[in-house]
Amino acid sequence: MAGLLLKNVAKLYPNGGVGVKDISMEIADGEFAVLAGPAGSGKSTLLRMIGGLEDISQGDIYIGGVRVNDLEPRDRGVAMIFRNYILYPQMTVYENLAFGLRLSGCGKDEIHERVTETAKLLEITELLDLPSEQVTGIDRYKVAVGRAVARKPKVLLMDDPMLCVDGELRREMREGLAELYRHLGVTVIYVTEDAGEAMALGTRLVVIRDGALEQTGTPEEVYEKPINRFVAEYFGDPAINVLEAMVGEENGRAVLTVAGSHGVFSEENSRRLLAAGYAGKEITVGVRPEDIHCEPECLERFSDNLIDACADVYETAGDAAYMSFRVGSYTMKAKVPQSAGIRPGDEVKLAVDPSRVYIFDKDTQKAI
Ligand code: ADP
Ligand code: MG
């Protein structure tokens, strides 16, 4: 059992800076957990406390059921990979992989076996005899990863290893890491600011803002059921459309007025809104670009939720195409098939699937 348990963990820096405020959470054995959040939210602080590089101001950290607060980093069963994965330049790749094993007192035969096995897993066997300074690109990263995993850590900690990497190399690193994780069966705690990367890699997301835990769940849970507006806006590219809406009640059902258009809520949202007394009040609604449609069959299907919009600009993001629309004073983005033939300046009707509308309290911004 090499899961991770945090109980009321906090970090107050000596200068009074708050790194992390009272975080409690559990990461199961074998999970790929991603700490995601904006710069300065406390991700690195939390990771360093788990790894033993930073004192814990308050609370307890358990790895595999053992309280590690007072254990040295090397006694915690963790390995860390940082952004600037510096290799020992004078050593061969083999020596780089063997270094940590030698320090932890492994015998020669065991070192050889582990280094060979790790190199095979990472497909760097042919590099083993090279001086590490001659290794470049993705291979350099693989050696750094190899050095960390050769010791068979229980938990692998990674602090935004791909922050300064772009394009093809980044894609390769990401895919390689996902594959390695499947092979190793290790628990991973991975830090990133990149919401898309978090979604792509994590089996569990831990969303942090201002040193506090906002939400934890599978990528699907966090995307589909964000606990508040912040989480809803953080995940999704292009971001969710957010608008102010007025809630009304007609024949026992909650209805809304938004940017001059009228619509109905799903039965579930209607029940929640009326039960919590939102009739006659303003709320914040969110609609993801992929849940806004312009095809005739959708206009018919969601005929109770049509918006008057004016097409603005067309843009492609990844493999999909998005269009901006002016809707009252808002600009909304919708995933629109190129085949729809909408041109900038066209006045169109858009349909919203009511079951895909997120509702937030206007003041607290918490999901209703
Ligand atoms: P992230 O990794 O999410 O960008 P950090 O953990 O680095 O965030 O920082 C969290 C907060 O702690 C920030 O407000 C930052 O300024 C503060 N902080 C980080 N390291 C130190 C330090 N060594 N001394 C004082 N404050 C720090
Ligand atoms: Mg950081």
Domain C-terminal end among 228, 261, 294: 228
Question: What pLDDT score was predicted for residue 184?
Answer: 84
Same domain, 252 and 213: no
Taking 60 as the threshold, does the pLDDT of residue 353 lie above it? yes
Give the number of other CB atoms < 10 A from CB of residue 146.
23
What average pLDDT does the segment 41-62 reach? 96
Structural domain includes residue 298: yes
Of the chain, the percentage scoring pLDDT greater than 70 comes to 98
User: In this structure, which ligand is nearest to the CA of 49?
Assistant: 1
Domain C-terminal end among 228, 254, 272: 228
Considering only CA atoms, which residue is closest to atom 18 of ligand 1?
Answer: 19
Q: Which residues have any ligand 1 atom within 6 Å of their CB?
A: 13, 15, 17, 19, 37, 39-45
Q: For residue range 211-237, what is the model confidence (pLDDT) as tens digits?
A: 999 999 999 999 999 999 999 999 999
Structural domain includes residue 335: yes
- Comparison of pLDDT for 10 and 75, the residue scoring more: 10
> What ligand 1 atom has the least distance to the C-alpha of 17?
26
Same domain, 302 and 256: yes
Contact call for residues 49 and 56 (beta carbons, < 8 A)? yes
Q: For residue range 83-101, what is the model confidence (pLDDT) as tens digits?
A: 766 788 889 999 999 998 9
Give CA–CA dist 265/327, Å, rounded: 19
Give CA–CA dist 187/147, Å, rounded: 16
**Residue 183 — pLDDT band, cuts 50, 70, 90?**
confident
Taking 90 as the threshold, does the pLDDT of residue 318 lie above it? no
Contact call for residues 67 and 60 (beta carbons, < 8 A)? yes
Same domain, 327 and 210: no
The answer to which of 214-218, 295-299, 334-338 has the lowest mean pLDDT is 334-338
Give CA–CA dist 278/274, Å, rounded: 6
Taking 60 as the threshold, does the pLDDT of residue 1 lie above it? no
Give this prediction's pTM.
Answer: 0.92
Same domain, 64 and 93: yes
- Number of structural domains found in the chain: 2
Give the number of other CB atoms < 10 A from CB of residue 136.
8
Give CA–CA dist 325/266, Å, rounded: 24
End-to-end, the C-alpha distance of the chain in Å comes to 37
Same domain, 192 and 123: yes
CATH of the domain at 347: 2.40.50.140
Same domain, 245 and 214: no
CA distances from 205 to 29, 66, 78, 208 (A): 15, 23, 20, 10
Give CA–CA dist 342/92, Å, rounded: 59
Question: What pLDDT score was predicted for residue 33?
Answer: 97
| Bond prior to 238 in cis (omega within 30° of 0) | yes
Considering only CA atoms, which residue is closest to atom 2 of ligand 1?
Answer: 44
Structural domain includes residue 366: no
Domain of residue 267, residue span: 241-361
